[in-house]
A and B are shown apart, each in its own frame.
Chain A
């Protein structure tokens, strides 16, 4: 179990436990985190699970693969720390991870 904090666009923080091997998107959906839609269910085909990784965690989380970069073209207000949360796997290393969710996904 890694603790993951989601900070929504209004600044509210929700911290939930993520199972090892699950994705950050799945962790969000299972816990009813708002501002993550995940229309395609994690297939990297919709870009509605967009999050901003906290700068302190950017290195540990890593950069998107080319397929994810392509899909990020369909997200809004993409920043250098943007990721699609369905492509981030929860590991014990990510215990304490902080991500921010954008005001708009679709």
Chain B
């Protein structure tokens, strides 16, 4: 069991809106920990459209998704935020009072963090693997069908069917091939999105007869009690092949699901968290929601709106973190106090 961390604010989600909130909170001397299920910061911008241009960030006629995230990381650096990547916030418990809120946040990695306010910047929800619409696939999940590899040893001596054409599919094909009894890679076409050297290594293994490559799509699974015995693969020409396998790893990218937030006792409206437009606080004092996850009259799901919401939420959070301190309004341009915090004065 890891030790409980104490901090001012836990930010759920390290998307663009969570990242800018670190900056706004930092200016008010509020320390943050961020938790995100993804392995890197940036939410939708870095996961869904890193290379695509964004044209409506004030002051940036054009910036790419990843470019914006890199800049936000640079901007919040002076405040030393702590990132917990690859972890899902599972539980959120209230441990304080309405006057002096306190919260305990628990991740699926077993980390607990106690804090004075929680800022939910969870966007469209947590990124989770897409599940293929193969009839009956649910019954095999956790026994024979996995969407990620936690322990490689669990695949030793098995017959693995890996489905997909990106880096995850290729990397696991190459990693599991030496230890599995047989690896079959299945993709819908003979072109791969993965790194060229991985594709070359895979093709060499196929040429030497050490693994199989099939083109097509899985249409049915055979087995009993969650134990997979074979997959039926349909090819473009209408013919089918039965692939004998006892493990399947489908890699079809990620999709956003609301996830554990539904169980935190918050009011929800169509999977969004209603907030007021003065403080962006939820129905639970001390829990705030900003960015794509919140809703209020006139809400626009724009990065710009999320930035504004973070700045306003920070004002109220200050009251919870420093109940006795008065907040004075200052500009970063002229306040030496703020500039000291930014390390530029």
Decide whether A and B are members of one complex: yes
Residues of A near any B CB (own CB < 8 A): 40, 43, 45-46, 69-70, 72-74, 76-80, 104, 106
A78 with B133: CB separation less than 8 A = no
> Which residues in B have their C-beta under 8 angstroms from that of A70?
193
Given that A73-B166, A73-B193, A106-B255 are contacting pairs, would A78 and B188 also be in contact in the complex, using a CB cutoff of 8 Å? yes
Contact B133 A76 (CB under 8 A): yes
Q: Give CA–CA (A73, B130) in the complex, Å.
A: 12
Cβ of B81 within 8 Å of any chain A Cβ, yes or no, is no
Report whether A104 and B133 are in contact in the complex, using a CB–CB cutoff of 8 Å.
yes
Show 12 residue pairs from A and B whose CB-CB distance is below 8 angstroms, ordered by the A residue. A43-B48, A69-B189, A70-B193, A72-B188, A73-B164, A73-B165, A73-B166, A73-B189, A73-B252, A77-B217, A78-B188, A79-B236
Q: How far is the CA of A70 from the CA of B49 in the complex (A)?
A: 13
Task: Determine whether the beta carbon of B217 is less than 8 Å from that of A74.
Answer: no
The 8 A CB mask of B129-140 against A (1 = contact, 0 = none) is 010110000000
Among B151-208, those with CB < 8 Å from A are 164-166, 187-189, 191, 193
User: What residue in chain B is nearest A103 (Cβ atoms)?
Assistant: B133
Residue among A43, A73, A104 making CB contact with B188, cutoff 8 Å: A73
Chain B residue numbers with a CB within 8 Å of A80 are 236
Q: Is B77 an interface residue (CB 8 A)?
A: no
A46 — which chain B residues lie within 8 A by C-beta? 48
Which residue numbers of B lie inside 8 Å of A, CB to CB? 48-49, 52, 130, 132-133, 164-166, 187-189, 191, 193, 217, 236, 252-253, 255
Select the residue from A73, A79, A80 with max chain B CB neighbours within 10 A: A73
Closest B residue by C-beta to A47: B253
Query: Do A74 and B253 touch (CB < 8 A)?
Result: yes
Shortest Cβ gap from B133 to chain A (Å):
5
When distances are taken between beta carbons in the complex, the residues of chain A under 8 Å from B252 are: 73-74
A77 CB to closest chain B CB (Å) equals 7
Q: How far is it, in angstroms, between the C-alpha of A78 and the C-alpha of B133 when the chains are bound?
A: 12
Task: State A69–B166 Cα separation when bound (angstroms).
Answer: 12
Distance in angstroms between the alpha carbons of A94 and B244 in the assembled complex: 45
Cross-chain contact B48 with A40 (CB below 8 angstroms): yes
Residues of A within 8 A of B49 (CB): 40, 43, 45
- Chain B residues with Cβ under 8 A from A106's Cβ? 130, 255
CB A39 to nearest CB in B, in angstroms, measures 8
| Chain A residue nearest to B164 in the complex (CB) | A73
CB of A55, distance to nearest CB on chain B (Å): 14
Which chain B residues border A104 with CB–CB below 8 Å?
133
Docked CA distance A43–B132 (Å): 22
When distances are taken between beta carbons in the complex, the residues of chain A under 8 Å from B165 are 73
